[in-house]
Structure 1
Amino acid sequence: MDFQHIIERSQAIWEKYHQLERQNHQTEWSVIEDALAFLSDAGLVGRLTMSQQERWVSNKDVTPELKHKLAECIWWLAVLSKRMDIDLKQSMETFLSGMEQRLGNTKQQAVGFCIFETIPPLFVIKSSPTYSPPVLLFFL
């Protein structure tokens, strides 16, 4: 499925949701309410992932619900980006290119990750001679 097609279909569904919101609540959800709904669904992805990975007790196969919530989160991101006048396709291209460039760094000692060049790295991966797996150091 083409990324642009996903965005367009998401927009059409979102417009139908707004009709229901007006019908049931007399007003449409704000961008903030949409963002909170997205966060709620993203939280459910976390819980369903724990269940699917057998780290949270569940008496059923949660895979169908997890698939639905993952897709719903993508839908929410398409909706939110449109509502905030952010070109999601371009944002993804910029993000992926930046990550590929950063992770293509071959330095063994330290690799920093930074969203914007003016902000210090969020974490550094360091190799240790006494401990073979890399150590992840967070800077907050």
Structure 2
Amino acid sequence: MSLDELLQQAMRVHDRYDRLNMQERGRVWTREEFMLGFVGDVGDLAKLVMAEEGAREVPGGRAELEHELADCLWSVLVLAHRYDVDLEAAFRRTMAELDAAISSRLPNSEEPT
């Protein structure tokens, strides 16, 4: 599945949440509220990673870790869309910048495999 296909699916689910929130609460989440929801998901993800590493007990195991990673990806895709960010271009640009910065600090003999 391409990034564009992931984004389309993420926005379909987001739009359904908006419809549900409008029906049940008479309003949709603002971008700020959506971001706060994402922060909560990242906190949940942190606990699940700790559980995966044996540092704590969290019910759900690996399936919950996979779910939360996908949930966080969904949030990133929606936030990028709602802030009109071309995520693919931003990702490529950022990875090139990071690669150059890291490569400049490594000895020339160390090439990626």
With normalisation by structure 1, the TM-score equals 0.72
Instruction: Please give the alpha-carbon distance, in whole angstroms, between the structure 2 residues aligned to 1:36 and 1:43.
Output: 11
Shift of 1:57: 2.8
Count of aligned positions = 107
Q: CA deviation at 1:107?
A: 4.6
* Residue 79 (structure 1) shift: 0.4
Cα deviations by residue, 1:41-63 (Å, 9 ceiling, x for unpaired) = 011000000011101134x5511
Deviations 1:40-89 (A, max 9, x none): 0011000000011101134x551100000001100000001111111111
Structure 2 residue runs of 5 or longer lacking an equivalent are 108-113
Q: Is 1:89 aligned to residue 88 of structure 2?
A: yes
Q: Which residue is equivalent to 1:52? A: 52
Cα offsets for 1:102-126 (capped at 9, x unmatched): 1111456xxxxxxxxxxxxxxxxxx
Q: Does 1:65 align with 2:43?
A: no
Q: Which runs of 4+ in 1 moved over 4 A?
A: none
- In structure 1, the gaps of 5 or more residues are 109-140
State the AA in 2 paired with 1:87. Answer: D
Identity of aligned residues (%): 23
- CA RMSD in angstroms comes to 1.4
Amino acid across the alignment from 1:62: G
Determine if contact 1:45/1:70 at 8 Å carries over to the other structure. yes
Rounded Cα–Cα distance in structure 2 between residues aligned with 1:79 and 1:106 = 35
Structure with the bigger percentage of helix: 2
Alignment of 1:1-140 (within 5 A): 1-58=1-58, 60=59, 62-107=61-106
| Larger relative strand fraction | 1
Which is bigger in relative contact order (C-alpha 8 A, separation at least 6)?
Answer: 2
Q: Secondary structure at the match of 1:36?
A: helix
CA 61–27 in structure 1, closer or farther in 2 if over 3 Å, else same: closer
